[in-house]
Amino acid sequence: MSRIELEEYIESLSADLIHSYNIEKQISLLVNSEIIEVHPKALVSLALIFNELISNSLKHAFDTTKATIISIDIRNEGDNTVEIYYSDNGVWKPHNAKSFGLELINSLTEQLNGSLELETKEGTHYIFQFDRQSLMEDN
C-alpha cells in the first residue's frame, strides 16, 4: 500500500465514529477532496486529527442543533499547499481550550509541517494548511 484513498477513508472513519457514539440524530456528512491519495505515514496523523475533530463535534456540538452537518473540504491551493477545511454547524458546550485533544490536533498538525486556524462563529471551523509534499511523500 503506497497510497491511501483519502475521501473514502474519511467517510469510513466518520461513519464508524457516528455509529460508536450511538448518535440518535441524523448527521449529514459532506466530504469533498481534491486530493485523491496520501502517503500512509501522513494518513496516520490525518486520521488522528479527523478522529479528534469528529469526536469533538459529536460530543460537544449537537445537543441543541436540529439539522446537524459536518463538512470536510480538502483542496489544492497553488502548487505546494493543501488546505483542509473542517466545519460543523453545532453550538458547542463550553470546553477547555487547553484540552489534550486540542493539543493533540496542534501537535499532529506541526508534525505534518502544517498550520491551523480556529473560528467559532456560526459553528466551529478549523482551517488547516499543509505543505503538499508532507502529505504525498515518504518523509
Q: What is the CATH number of the domain that holds 89?
A: 3.30.565.10
Q: What pLDDT shows up at residue 47?
A: 95
Domain count, the chain: 1
Is 23 a member of any domain? Answer: yes
**Residue whose C-alpha cell reads 481534491 in the numeric block:** 34
Q: CB neighbours (10 Å) of residue 131? A: 16
Q: Which grid coordinates belong to 20?
A: 460508536
Residue 122 DSSP class: S
What range defines the domain where residue 18 resides? Answer: 4-119
Q: CB neighbours (10 Å) of residue 95? A: 12
Residue 14 banded pLDDT, cuts 50, 70, 90: very high
At a CB cut-off of 8 Å and minimum separation 6, what does 116 contact? Answer: 105, 106, 109, 126, 127, 128, 129
Which range among 6-10, 48-52, 95-99, 102-106 shows the weakest confidence by mean pLDDT? 95-99
Is 59 a member of any domain? Answer: yes
Q: How far is CA 128 from the centre of its chain?
A: 9
- The SS3 call for residue 62 is coil
Is 138 a member of any domain? Answer: no
Beta strand 68-77 with 81-88: parallel, antiparallel or unpaired? Answer: antiparallel
- Average pLDDT of the segment spanning 110-137: 91
Residue 45 banded pLDDT, cuts 50, 70, 90: very high
Residue 2 banded pLDDT, cuts 50, 70, 90: low
H-helix or E-strand containing 76?
A: strand 68-77
Which range among 13-17, 41-45, 59-63 shows the weakest confidence by mean pLDDT? 59-63
**Residue whose C-alpha cell reads 486530493 in the numeric block:** 35
Is 132 a member of any domain? Answer: no
Is 130 a member of any domain? Answer: no
- What separation in angstroms does the CA of 116 have from each of 28, 66, 76, 105? 24, 28, 16, 9
Is 134 a member of any domain? Answer: no
Is 57 a member of any domain? Answer: yes
Which range among 15-19, 44-48, 57-61 shows the weakest confidence by mean pLDDT? 57-61
Q: What pLDDT shows up at residue 29?
A: 94
Rounded CA-CA distance 64/99 in Å is 23
Rounded CA-CA distance 36/58 in Å is 26
Is 135 a member of any domain? Answer: no
pTM of model > 0.85: yes
pLDDT at 139 over 60: no
